[in-house]
Amino acid sequence: MASHWLEPTRENLRGTFSRDFPPVLTVESGDRIVCSTLDPGWNVGPPEPFEPGVSPPKMQPRDPESDAGHCLLGPIAIRGAKPGMTLEVRILEVTPGAWGWTVSGGWPHVVHQRLGTHEGPEARLLWRLDADKAVGTDQLGRQVSLRPFLGVMGMPADVPGLQPTPPPRRTGGNLDCKELVPGSSLFLPIEVEGGLLSIGDGHALQADGEACVTAIECGMKRVELEIALHDGPLASPRARLQGAWLTLGLDEDLTEATYKALEAMVDLMGELHGLERKDALALASLCADLRVTQIVNGVVGGHCVLRDDAIRFSG
């Protein structure tokens, strides 16, 4: 096992996915990646002075096409990764930087139009982040407890051209699942040679749904991930949490995304426990929690969580 340090320098950053991007790093299965990241808006430092109306400095130059989306570190190739295999990303550490931001309203996203917050200026919260105490404090003195994670961990689909970062895919990307904290593992289907993993979109805190379209968006001071390859295909993203399994469903329709998360959980229960489909669904109805992952990325997400101790098998 080797550890690789990756800096968010201009040559290591992209704002889209593509199967054609050359890797900035190649690792072996079992290796660790240690890095820092910029926030999704390509900001390289806090605004000076630290006030909501002041624009922070950004990474330059940026290509208007390939750097159009979230600021992502990568892509990272995994030697031996082939289509039809599964990539496991083990999340060991996610430590936020010293500041972050949340923006709400002021533009015609479907959420803001529904809630009537699309007109007029945006509301902007600036956060000072204390990673040691896991506390964020905004410019009005309001405090929240931090639970940092990466909003984007994913690979390109096997299609030509540039792929935008906002919509998540079966190969991952902008999943915005708040459960992917240190101690968890994300499993993703691989569609292209080398996998080509990219990461970013640091969130110091986000609730299920990401209701205003942003979380506490922040750069990460330190991220440590362990990469592993597994033989065999995977239909959709899933995660191993501490003491639970999580399945993800993605679709433009939230009801359909929720059904997909449920179906994936029923399939997983069959894999883990040899349960017939109707039996698994009956137990899922009692013990597996369906939740909204996010409603803001165009392709929305639902997830289903089954705790290890929810069903006790005799013998």
Q: Are residues 106 and 176 in the same domain?
A: yes
Q: Which of 46, 39, 45 is nearest to 13 (CA)?
A: 39
CATH number at residue 294: 3.10.28.20
In terms of DSSP bridges, do strands 185-189 and 32-37 run parallel, antiparallel, or are they unpaired? unpaired
Can you spell out the DSSP letters for 23-68? PSEEE-TT-EEEEEE--TT-B-S--SS--TTSPPPB-S---TTTTS
Nearest partner of 95 among 46, 50, 134, 59, judged by Cα = 134
Residue 282 sits at φ, ψ, to 5 deg, of -60, -45
Q: Along the 315 residues of the chain, how does pLDDT read in single tens digits?
A: 899 999 999 999 999 999 999 999 999 999 999 999 999 999 999 999 999 989 999 999 999 999 999 999 999 999 999 999 999 999 999 999 999 999 999 999 999 999 999 999 999 999 999 999 999 999 999 999 999 999 999 999 999 999 999 999 999 999 999 999 999 999 999 999 999 999 999 999 999 999 999 999 999 999 999 999 999 999 999 999 999 999 999 999 999 999 999 999 999 999 999 999 999 999 999 999 999 999 999 999 999 999 999 999 886
Q: At what angle do helices 277-287 and 254-273 cross, to 10 degrees?
A: 110
Q: What is the pLDDT of residues 14-46, one digit of tens each?
A: 999 999 999 999 999 999 999 999 999 999 999
pLDDT in tens, 188-243: 999 999 999 999 999 999 999 999 999 999 999 999 999 999 999 999 999 999 99
Domain of 28 in residue numbering reads as 3-230
Last residue of a domain, one of 199, 230, 261: 230
Same domain, 193 and 290: no
